[in-house]
Amino acid sequence: MALFPNHASWSLRRRLTVTVAGLLVGASILVGLVSVLSLRSFLIDRLDAQLQSAVGRSQAAVDGHDDRDKDNQGPNHAQDALLAPGQAAGTLVIVNNPGGAVTAAVLGNGGGTYIPPSVLGTPPAVKDNRPFDLHTARLGDFRALQVRALTGDTLIVALPTTEVDAATQQLLLVILLVTALGLGVTIIAGRYLIRFELKPLERVAATAQAVATLPLDRGEVSLAERVAPEDTDPRTEVGRVGLAVNTMLDHVGDALTARQASEEKVRQFVADASHELRTPLASIRGYSELTRRSGEKLSEPMTHALSRIESEAIRMTALVEDLLLLARLDEGRELVHGEVDLTRVVIDCVADAQVSGPDHTWKLHLPDEAVSIAGDQARLHQVLANLLANARIHTPAGSMVDVTLVREGAQVQIKVRDNGPGIPAAQRRTIFERFTRGDSSRTRATGSTGLGLAIVQAVVQSHGGKVSVASKKGRTEFVVSLPA
Ligand SMILES: Nc1ncnc2c1ncn2[C@@H]1O[C@H](COP(=O)(O)OP(=O)(O)O)[C@@H](O)[C@H]1O
Ligand SMILES: [Mg+2]
């Protein structure tokens, strides 16, 4: 069971502070209660002893004057009892004579004062010679003792408990003040000390947080972040956490390195394979072309077969080139940096597209002044060529394609918009991934590889830019943003 079930969100610091403060209050209450009760019982015992002697004096005084005032017993007996030498101020004496008359008097500094018995209320039924508490409405509280005089009178002598009450109240007050002070000091010092003690834990958390923000999903990751050695002492709880975090980071680092190595191997393999395939493909293309043009009379099916071999070889060459380019872009090389006149690139690409796609209407919007950025001219040319080829291949004849180059603040944007059939939402999500394509036999026949947009994204990203697509029926727009 949790200690603070309703405060699950409390920080450890707050929990510890509240726990310590609670324990302190509990201990203070216990100590205070025991001290006050034992002080009171000690003082009452002492008062009872004083009471014994006071009663002895009073009794002697009453017994000694027994013969004299037979007629007027009550008041005088009370006075005798009260004015017995040695009696302290504040002493209360009550005399009940056998006839039922009650006389009561209290000793002041200047002598005794009679008080009407009604002030005392009904006297409690008590046993002789046993001290008891006497509460009066107007005179306050007393400790009293009842004895019997030789005259037959019942004599009650009482001493005020004022001093006992004052002493216990004083002690209570002191304990309360000390507890309050202790509580304040505990909370303030406790918060500080706990914060201080929790520092190592916070440092471990900070390390974990720093690692959590690292992009670990791709590329070469240097996992240099570690919990400092002073926070990895296995003898402490925090040290064990720190040690566990470091061990985990070691494992994760090893795993990431292994992953990186295997990714590199695959990439290298793809690059090598594509590279090796170029030459035989060129041969196939060359020989089929040579045979077709040799002038020999070939049968109709033969000619068809040769032209198929040739066109498939061309398609495969394109695929292999794309694969090789992607593998090299993944490796982070292949880009040649220089000053690129984007306006020129856009004009060239649209001109090329116009030649390849005479069935489409091509529109071009350029800013007034020339736009140039730092980058790889050939690759940027390829980005735009791929987008324009898509706009040509994946839209019906007669569609309109609109290319816009704009400069927006620190960004240069190339927008390629067409009014074709659009891209289904399901496909749009993965459109920049490799080998994603709308599978119609028409696109396959026209040399579709599904790598075009993957190359667009890889090139744009290696230029520090990004590419996005928005599409609905009759309006598809690709936007390439590059840092100016
Ligand atoms: N402008 C466009 N209009 C409609 N569909 C498009 C457009 N551009 C791309 N697509 C879809 O995205 C797919 C992926 O494009 P891409 O990566 O260039 O591969 P490819 O063109 O070789 O098929 C295409 O097969 C096509 O279905
Ligand atoms: Mg394409």
151 CB neighbour count, 10 Å cutoff: 18
pLDDT in tens, 7-37: 788 888 888 889 999 999 999 999 999 999 9
215 CB neighbour count, 10 Å cutoff: 7
pTM: 0.59
Measured between alpha carbons, how far is 153 from 95 in angstroms, rounded to an integer? 6
**Residues in the 5 Å CB sphere of ion ligand 2:** 390, 452
Ligand 2 centre and the CA of 387: distance in Å?
A: 7
Kindly report the protein residue whose alpha carbon is nearest to atom 25 of ligand 1: 437
The response to whether residue 448 sits with its C-beta less than 6 Å from ligand 1 reads yes
Is the domain covering 214-334 a CATH 3.10.180.10 domain?
Answer: no
Measured between alpha carbons, how far is 293 from 312 in angstroms, rounded to an integer? 17
Measured between alpha carbons, how far is 298 from 300 in angstroms, rounded to an integer? 6
Is the Cβ–Cβ distance between 225 and 249 less than 8 Å?
yes
The answer, yes or no, to whether residue 365 has pLDDT greater than 90, is yes
Which among 39-43, 287-291, 424-428 has the top mean pLDDT?
39-43
- Rg of the chain over Cα atoms, rounded to whole angstroms, equals 53
- CATH code: domain 338-483 is 3.30.565.10
Which atom of ligand 1 approaches the CA of 393 most closely?
A: 21
The response to whether residue 471 sits with its C-beta less than 6 Å from ligand 1 reads no
127 CB neighbour count, 10 Å cutoff: 7
DSSP 465: -
The residue to mutate among 394, 402, 415, 476, having the most atoms of ligand 1 within 8 angstroms of its beta carbon, is: 394
CA 86 to chain centre: 76
pLDDT at 440: 54
The response to whether residue 449 sits with its C-beta less than 6 Å from ligand 1 reads yes
Measured between alpha carbons, how far is 81 from 67 in angstroms, rounded to an integer? 15
Ligand 2 centre and the CA of 408: distance in Å?
A: 27
pLDDT in tens, 44-76: 999 999 999 999 888 888 887 655 445 545 556
Q: What is the DSSP string of 147-177?
A: EE-TTS-EEEEEEE-HHHHHHHHHHHHHHHH
Mean pLDDT of 283-299: 88
Sign, CA dihedral 175-176-180-181, equals: negative
Which three-class secondary structure string do you get for 274-297?
HHHHHHHHHHHHHHHHHHHHCCCC
CA angle 465, 458, 265 (to 5 degrees): 140
DSSP 85: T
Mean pLDDT of 404-421: 92
Measuring CA to CA, how many Å separate 322 from each of 273, 332, 385, 412, 464?
A: 12, 15, 13, 26, 21
The answer, yes or no, to whether residue 124 has pLDDT greater than 80, is no
pLDDT at 384: 96
Q: 214-334 and 338-483 share one CATH topology?
A: no
Alpha helices by DSSP H, 65-111: 73-83
CA angle 354, 475, 447 (to 5 degrees): 50
Fold category of 12-170 in CATH: Beta-Lactamase (3.30.450)
Ligand 1 centre and the CA of 331: distance in Å?
A: 25
Q: What is the DSSP string of 232-254?
A: --TTSHHHHHHHHHHHHHHHHHH
The response to whether residue 431 sits with its C-beta less than 6 Å from ligand 1 reads yes
| Exposure string for 238-276, b = 16+ CB within 10 A, e = fewer | bbebbbebbeebeeebeebeeeeeeeeeebeebbeebee
The residue behind tokens 């690059």 is: 271
- 435: region left, alpha or beta (phi > 0 left; psi from -120 to 50 alpha): left
Ligand 1 centre and the CA of 327: distance in Å?
A: 20
Ligand 1 centre and the CA of 394: distance in Å?
A: 6
The helix-helix angle for 12-64 and 162-212 (nearest 10°) equals 170
Measured between alpha carbons, how far is 186 from 191 in angstroms, rounded to an integer? 8
The response to whether residue 123 sits with its C-beta less than 6 Å from ligand 1 reads no
Which atom of ligand 1 approaches the CA of 438 most closely?
A: 27
Residue spans of the domains in the chain: they are: 12-170, 214-334, 338-483
Ligand 2 centre and the CA of 236: distance in Å?
A: 60
pLDDT in tens, 157-176: 999 999 999 999 999 999 99
Which atom of ligand 1 approaches the CA of 420 most closely?
A: 3
Closest ligand to Cα 401? 1
pLDDT at 167: 94
The response to whether residue 103 sits with its C-beta less than 6 Å from ligand 1 reads no
Ligand 2 centre and the CA of 386: distance in Å?
A: 5
270 contact partners, CB below 8 Å, separation of at least 6: 323, 324, 326, 327
The response to whether residue 418 sits with its C-beta less than 6 Å from ligand 1 reads yes
Which residues are bridge partners to 95 per DSSP?
Answer: 103, 155
The answer, yes or no, to whether residue 123 has pLDDT greater than 70, is no
The response to whether residue 437 sits with its C-beta less than 6 Å from ligand 1 reads yes
Which atom of ligand 1 approaches the CA of 448 most closely?
A: 22
